[in-house]
């Protein structure tokens, strides 16, 4: 739109003669017209047009656009070819994870950690009622979550559990074999049925669940992650828990064996060896004041672990950040094994 020309009558007597451009500027500015451009001047009046405000220099506009591009993510427009940074390697968006023994304790902590990193999660435990809490928590995060009741200590229930887990999204990308149990007794009096029960859940279920999930990962053709729950007793003998120590030692060796065989399929198999954590399984030890004090005295971190302390470890081993890590046993123990 053309700017309207204005005419200003000014006093041109000798005392106020506008003899210079500067004086004309001052006279007109005093009358409230601000910036202007002279178009014509006669003896008694000046014709002028108010000027447009000065524009923003082009270099500042370019700089501003670059800032917007940087902070609001041109990389989202350009696509996946741009380096997204290491933090993005820990994201699990679009992944489906299965966690056994997920109703409480370590399993629940890891299931919630995977969901917080973006994964949809299938939680498995013996009864559906015990899974309601973790299921609702994961759904509240905006992730899909299915609860599958199954006693995987009974190998015949594992194929159905894996099929139900896959049905949620049509694939399985991650499996965390966490379900486990224990029983304390002197070796000479250890009941045979308890030996079999511990071994069936702690090592046989790890093998059969890994085998079934591994087949699916191979068929999918884009790799996968298997994370097993080992123990400090994968390295030490323990006291009054012969099948627990035996089974957790076997978990460590099975992890390494599967890692070797499935590396060609881009499937990484690792294990987490938790230290002393506050769970239902360790409650009898923690309630023993003498034994609990002895444990705390050896832990450099000076505390028992909390299930949330495993979130970082499981997300790392389940994500692209660990693509060159396989056959590893990661201790999360507050420094116990380094003492």
Q: What is the pLDDT of residue 69?
A: 56
Average pLDDT over the chain reads 86
The closest of 171, 265, 160, 165 to 216, measured between CA atoms, is 171
Q: What is the pLDDT of residue 58?
A: 72
Q: What is the pLDDT of residue 23?
A: 52
Q: Is 276 annotated in the active site?
A: no
- Of 76-85, 119-128, 289-298, which gets the smallest average pLDDT? 76-85
Q: What is the pLDDT of residue 137?
A: 98
The closest of 103, 243, 105, 247 to 183, measured between CA atoms, is 243
- Domains of the chain (ranges, CATH numbers): 6-50 (no CATH), 91-338 (3.40.50.720)
Q: What is the pLDDT of residue 326?
A: 98
Mean pLDDT of 309-320: 98
Chain segment 230-250, per-residue pLDDT in tens: 999 999 999 999 999 999 999
Q: What is the pLDDT of residue 3?
A: 46
Q: Are strands 267-274 and 329-332 parallel, antiparallel or unpaired?
A: parallel
Inform me whether the pLDDT recorded for 34 exceeds 50.
no
Band of residue 61 on the pLDDT scale cut at 50, 70, 90? confident
Chain segment 152-203, per-residue pLDDT in tens: 999 999 999 999 999 999 999 999 999 999 999 999 999 999 999 999 999 9
- Of 53-57, 134-138, 335-339, which gets the smallest average pLDDT? 53-57
Inform me whether the pLDDT recorded for 16 exceeds 60.
no
Residue of higher predicted confidence among 163 and 74:
163
Mean pLDDT of 276-296: 92
The closest of 8, 81, 77 to 38, measured between CA atoms, is 8
pTM: 0.77
- Of 21-30, 112-121, 232-241, which gets the smallest average pLDDT? 21-30
Residue of higher predicted confidence among 46 and 148:
148
Q: What is the pLDDT of residue 327?
A: 98
Q: Residues, the chain, total? A: 339
Task: Compute the distance between CA of residue 75 and CA of residue 115 in angstroms, rounded to an integer.
Answer: 25
Of 36, 208, 244, 276, catalytic: 244
Mean pLDDT of 194-216: 98
129 φ, ψ (degrees, to nearest 5): -60, -40
Q: What is the pLDDT of residue 259?
A: 99
Q: How far is CA 61 from CA 58, 71, 265, in A?
A: 5, 16, 50
Mean pLDDT of 40-51: 51
Task: Compute the distance between CA of residue 175 and CA of residue 97 in angstroms, rounded to an integer.
Answer: 6
Chain segment 4-13, per-residue pLDDT in tens: 444 444 444 4
């Amino acid at each position: 739109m053309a700017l309207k020309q204005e005419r200003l009558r000014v006093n041109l007597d000798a005392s106020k003669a506008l003899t210079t451009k500067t004086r004309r500027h001052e006279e007109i500015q005093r009358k409230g017209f601000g910036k202007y451009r002279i178009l014509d001047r006669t003896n008694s009046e000046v014709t002028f047009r108010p000027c447009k405000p000065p524009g923003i220099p082009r270099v500042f506009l370019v700089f501003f656009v670059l800032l917007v591009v940087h902070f609001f993510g041109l990389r989202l427009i350009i696509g996946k070819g741009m380096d997204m940074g290491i933090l993005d390697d820990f994201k699990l968006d679009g992944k489906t994870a299965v966690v056994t023994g997920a109703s409480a304790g370590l399993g629940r902590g890891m299931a919630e950690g995977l969901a917080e990193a973006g994964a949809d999660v299938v939680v498995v435990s013996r009864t559906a009622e015990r899974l309601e809490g973790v299921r609702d928590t994961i759904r509240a995060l905006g992730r899909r979550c299915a609860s599958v009741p199954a006693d995987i200590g009974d190998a015949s229930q594992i194929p159905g559990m894996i099929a139900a887990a896959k049905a949620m999204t049509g694939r399985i990308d991650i499996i965390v074999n966490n379900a486990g149990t224990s029983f304390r007794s002197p070796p000479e009096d250890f009941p045979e049925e308890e030996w079999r029960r511990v071994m069936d859940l702690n090592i046989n279920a790890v093998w059969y669940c890994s085998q079934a999930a591994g087949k699916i990962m191979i068929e999918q053709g884009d790799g996968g992650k298997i994370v097993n729950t080992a123990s400090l007793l994968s390295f030490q003998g323990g006291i009054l828990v012969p099948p627990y120590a035996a089974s957790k030692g076997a978990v460590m060796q099975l992890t390494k064996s599967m890692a070797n065989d499935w590396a060609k399929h881009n499937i990484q198999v690792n294990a987490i060896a938790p230290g002393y954590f506050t769970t239902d399984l360790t409650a009898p030890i923690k309630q023993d004041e003498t034994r609990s004090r002895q444990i705390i005295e050896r832990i450099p971190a000076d505390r028992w672990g909390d299930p949330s302390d495993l979130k970082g470890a499981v997300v790392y081993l389940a994500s692209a950040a660990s693509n060159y890590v396989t056959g590893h046993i990661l201790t999360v123990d507050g420094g116990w094994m380094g003492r």
